[in-house]
Amino acid sequence: MNYLDSNELSALSLGATLLGSGGGGDPTILYGHLHYLLEKNGPIKIIQPEYLSPDALLIPIALIGAPLISLERIPNSTLFLALFKEIKKQHPDRECVLMPAEIGGCNALTPFMLAAQAALPVLDADLIGRAFPQLNMCKPAILGKDKQVSYLASPYGDCLTIKTDSIAALESKVRDATLHFGSSAVLATFLFNAQEQDEYIIPGSLTRALNLGRLLEKHAKDLSSLSTATQAKKIGSGLITEVSHSIEGGFLLGYATIKTTRGELQVFYQNEYLLVKTRDGNNLAESPDLIALLESHSGLPLTSETLRFGLKVEIFSLAAPSFWQEPYARSQVDLQAFGLTTDKGLAYV
């Protein structure tokens, strides 16, 4: 993958939704606008990590806040240009390369919104390899990159520079400022130099999303062949018979019950799908594995907020990037980290 052009945008969006594991927001938020920018300004260059110039400054970016707000107060060019102007002021002579902070969901497209307007390249990598709901669930946070200078911009052209000494402070300052900006903003954080890339990036994320999206387009009408094509594991298929969720602490928290041929399954989520288990307590897939619910007749991946009674779905799981298989990383994002252990989170089922 050397360039992104408008023809590949729908495959990238589909693959990113799949990697979102139910969260990360719907790429529809940016799809139309990015398609327009790609048509107008041409394809965007994509750089593989091994070809980065050692002096380059890497800028991971993401939309942050409530997806519903971005769907109504739609992003404009100022949002992205104001962010870059402020970064440029701090790093006037650096060669800048953008990258998605999060490949899962809408944010796979976010760096391209700026890249298309500032003629910048985008790195084929991200900080997570999927979607997770909190900033402490990024690779650099897990590896102890506590001190940051982050940037947060609004669509009215304001940009804040946020200096923090801990991930907890970063999370809280960014959330507060986002609220102040109308609950939707663009964030650049965990900026790093190209030589440090091993401690920051999950390589190949854009390529993975694009390949998954292409396979999904190809197999949408025959999902049975998807497993072999993607190494996804099919868990089951059936009708959603119950959806129960509430909004707590800014997250969509809940579960869906699915009646399948192998009995009743339950899918638990906090924005992202975190666990699939059987009635008798067997965990069939769990975080950090990716869990995908595809609508049976269209083959489209469903985000957690669109689940509803009566939908027919196919459930798949995919392996998370190898970084999350390491015990120290896994413990930050496993069921216990999300409070979904048998003695607590599941007690209400």
Partner 1 sequence: MYKLGIDVGGTNIDFAVVDQHDRLLYSHKILAQGDLHRAIAKGLSELKQSKGFDLSCTEAIHLGTTLAINSLLELKSLHKVGLLRLASHAPDFPPAYLWPKTHRDSILVGHCTVAGGREYDNRSVKALNNLELINAANTLIDMGAESLAIVSVFSPLYAEDELSAANLIRNQISSTIPLSLSHQLGGLGFIERENSTLLNAALKKVLRESFKSLSFALKENGFKGECFITRNNGTLFSLAEAIEFPVMTIASGPSNSLIGASKLSQLNDAVIVDIGGTSTDIGIIENGFPLYSLKGAKVAGIPCQLLAPDIRALSMGGGSIIRSNNHSYSIGPDSLGAELFTKCKTTGGSYMTLYDVGQSLKAANNKEAEAIMIYFLQQIKTELISLIPDPDSRPILLVGGGSENIPDSFLASNFLRPPHYQIANAYGAALSEVAGQVDCIVQFQEDREKQIKLLEEKAIALAIEKGATAGSIRIIEKKILPLHYMQEPRSRVLITAAGRMRSR
- CB of residue 111 to partner 1, shortest distance in Å: 17
Indicate the residue among 229 and 239 with the shorter CB distance to partner 1: 239
Residues 11, 13, 17, 20, Cα dihedral to 10°: 120
Least spacing, CB of residue 88 vs partner 1, in Å:
21
Measured from the CB atom, the residue of 72 and 280 that comes closer to partner 1 is: 72
Least distance in Å: CB of 76 to partner 1?
5
Q: How far apart are CA 176 and CA 281, in angstroms?
A: 39
- Which residue, 63 or 202, has its beta carbon nearer to partner 1? 63
Closest CB 218 distance from partner 1, rounded Å: 18
**Least distance to partner 1, CB of residue 279, Å:** 20
Q: Which is nearer to partner 1, 51 or 156 (CB)?
A: 156
Minimal distance, residue 156 CB to partner 1, in Å: 6
Of 74 and 169, which CB lies nearer to partner 1 in the complex structure? 74
Whole-number Å distance between alpha carbons of 46 and 219 = 26
Return the number of the residue (82 or 215) whose C-beta is nearest partner 1.
82
Q: Which is nearer to partner 1, 71 or 143 (CB)?
A: 71
First to last CA, the chain: 45
Measured from the CB atom, the residue of 17 and 287 that comes closer to partner 1 is: 17
Which residue type sits at 173? K
Please write down the HEC assignment for all residues of the chain. Answer: CCEECHHHHHHHHHHHHHHCCCCCCCCHHHHHHHHHHHHHHCCEEEECHHHCCCCCEEEEEEEEECHHHHHHCCCCHHHHHHHHHHHHHHCCCCCEEEEECCCCHHHHCHHHHHHHHHCCCEECEECCCCCCCCHHHCHHHHCCCCCEEEEEECCCCCEEEEEECCHHHHHHHHHHHHHHCCCEEEEECCCEEHHHHHHCCEECHHHHHHHHHHHHHHHCCCHHHHHHHHCCEEEEEEEEEEEEEEEECCEEEEEEEEEECCEEEEEEEECEEEEEEECCCCEEEECCCEEEEEECCCCCECCHHHCCCCCEEEEEEECCCHHHHCHHHHHHHCCCCCCCCCCCHHHHC
Smallest separation, CB 66 to partner 1 (Å): 6
CB of 147 to partner 1, least distance (A): 28
Q: Which residues sit at the interface with partner 1, rule CB under 8 A? A: 32-33, 35-36, 66, 68-69, 71-78, 155-156, 179, 182-183, 239, 247, 250, 295-297, 306, 308, 310-312
The least distance separating partner 1 from the CB of residue 35, rounded to whole angstroms, comes to 7
C-alpha 56/C-alpha 95 separation (Å) is 5
Nearer to partner 1, 24 or 288 (CB): 24
